[in-house]
Amino acid sequence: MSTELRRVVITGAGIISPIGIGRDAFWSGISEKKSGLAKVERLSGTGLPHNIAGEVKEFDESSARKLYFDSKDQKKSIKIMCREIQLGVASANLALADSQLDLDAIDHTRLGVEFGANQMFSPPEVLAPGAFACSDGKDFQFDRWGDEGLAQMEPLWLLKYLPNMPACHIGIRADARGPNNSLTMAEASGINALAEAYRIISNNRADIMLGGSTGTRVESVKTIHARLWDQLADYGDEADPSTWCRPFDATRRGQVVGEGACTFIVEEEGHAKARGAEILGTILGIGGSCVMDINGKANRRQAIVNAVNAALRDAGLSPSDVQNIHAHGLGETLADVEEAEALATVFGDSLANIPVTALKSYTGNSGAACGTLELAASLLGAKNGVIPAVLNYSQPDEKCPLNVVHGDHLASSAKVILNLNVTDQGQAAAIVVAAA
C-alpha cells in the first residue's frame, strides 16, 4: 500500500448566516460590513440581554421547503427536523449546487459525510404535555414517564433533536455510501469535522466528503444556558445591537449568540481537477487539542497553542509562513486575552505583522457552525483579494496585542491562512489552508 497522502481541496460552499444565505450574499454582507446582530424576531422571548442575537431572519421552515430543499423526500422529512438540522441540510444542498458536482457521474461508495452540530434541545412547549402527564401538580414522577409521559410526545420526537441527524439526512440526500460521522464539540465541531474529512480523503478512504457544521444558540433553552454560563454583551436597550460584539477591543463586554450553517465539498485534488471544479482552497494541515486539569478546569490558552502547533507541523510549515489568522474572536473579556496570549506563544514577535480577523463581530457565536462559517469568510476574502475587517474594533487592548484588521478591509494577497476555534471546555481546533 502507498503511504503517500493525497492532496485535499475545497470545491464548493453552502452558507447560511445572519448576513446572507449563499456564497454571493454572504460575501456581499462581509464586503458591505453588514452586521447580522439585532433583536430576535422568531422567538417571543429569550434569556438574552434585550433579546439581541445573530438570527438568520430569512430562513424558516417554509422558505427551507421552497428554496433550499430540492427533493420530494426532503420536503416531506422537514417536519422531523429541528431548526439546526434544517439549517445543516439546507447548507449541504447549497454546497452541492455551488460545487456543480454531478451526482450521477461519481462512485457513491467514495462519497461520505462529516458533520458537526451542537447539542439539540426540545423547547418547553414540546416537553410540556409529557411532563404535565407525569406530574402530581408539584413533583415530576419518573416512574410514570414510560406509560403516561411518552405517550404525549410526537412519535418521531427523538429524531427531531439528535445531533447526528444532519449527517444522516445529508447522507440520504446525496446517496453517500462512504464514511459518515457526526461530531458534537461546541465551537470546535466545524473545523474538527473538516479535519476528519481531510484525513479520510488523504488516506484514500473516499474521494469526496461533505464536511460542515450547523448550530443555533438562538433557541429558548439555549439562550437560558447562555445567560447562566457565558459572559454575554449588554450595552443597554438604547445601544445599537450591531455594535455589541467587539472581539479584542478594550470595550468588549462579552459574546453575542448567533446561528448558521456551512457545508464544504471536500475533494481529492485530482478528482476535482478531472471534473473541472473551481478550487477555493487546499487544506494543508489540521490540529486539535483538549486541555483540562484534574479538577475539570479548562486551559483554553494551552489548547490553542497545542492545536496551532499541531496544524503547522501537519502542514510542514513554520509560524512565519502564516500570512493571515482568522481568530476565534469571541468578544469575552478573558477569552480574548487567553487567545491573544496563545497566539503570542506560537508566533512570537512575528505576530505583530500577521493580520487578524474575526467573523463573530458580524454574525455572533453560532456554536458548532462558527468554524466553517469563519473558514468560508477566509476563503472568500482571499478570492476577493482582501482580509475582512473586524467590526466594532476601535480601542486596542494592551492585553490583546494583535494586528487586528479594522476600519476598511485590508487589501491583501495572503494565501496561507490559519483558522482556529476553542471551547469553554478546553477543546481547540486549527486548520491551515492555502487559498486558491
DSSP code of 258?
B
Residue-level pLDDT at 71: 82
Say if 150 falls within a structural domain.
no
Say if 140 falls within a structural domain.
no
Residue-level pLDDT at 3: 59
Q: Which helix (H) or strand (E) is 416 found in, with range?
A: strand 416-422
Say if 143 falls within a structural domain.
no
Which domain range does residue 326 map to? 8-122+157-435
What is the torsional sign of CA 73, 79, 82, 83? Answer: positive
Residue-level pLDDT at 343: 98
Residue-level pLDDT at 1: 40
Say if 128 falls within a structural domain.
no
φ, ψ at 260 (rounded to 5°): 160, -175
| Distance (Å, whole) CA 9 – CA 210 | 12
CATH number for position 352: 3.40.47.10
| Nine-digit cell string for 344 | 503570542
DSSP code of 435?
E
Say if 411 falls within a structural domain.
yes
φ, ψ at 387 (rounded to 5°): -110, 120
Q: Which helix (H) or strand (E) is 84 found in, with range?
A: helix 83-99
- Length of the chain in terms of residues written: 436
Give one DSSP letter per residue of 363-382, joined into a string: H-B-GGGHHHHHHHHHHHHH
Say if 273 falls within a structural domain.
yes
Say if 127 falls within a structural domain.
no
| Distance (Å, whole) CA 120 – CA 420 | 23
Cβ burial 394-427 (10 Å sphere, 16+ → b, else e): eeebeebebebbbeebbeeebebbbbbbbbebbb
Please write the tens of the pLDDT for every residue from 156-202.
Answer: 999 999 999 999 999 999 999 999 999 999 999 999 999 999 999 99
What is the tally of structural domains in the chain? 1
Q: Which residues of the chain register pLDDT less than 50?
A: 1-2
Say if 340 falls within a structural domain.
yes
| Nine-digit cell string for 436 | 486558491
Amino acid, single-letter form, for residue 433: V
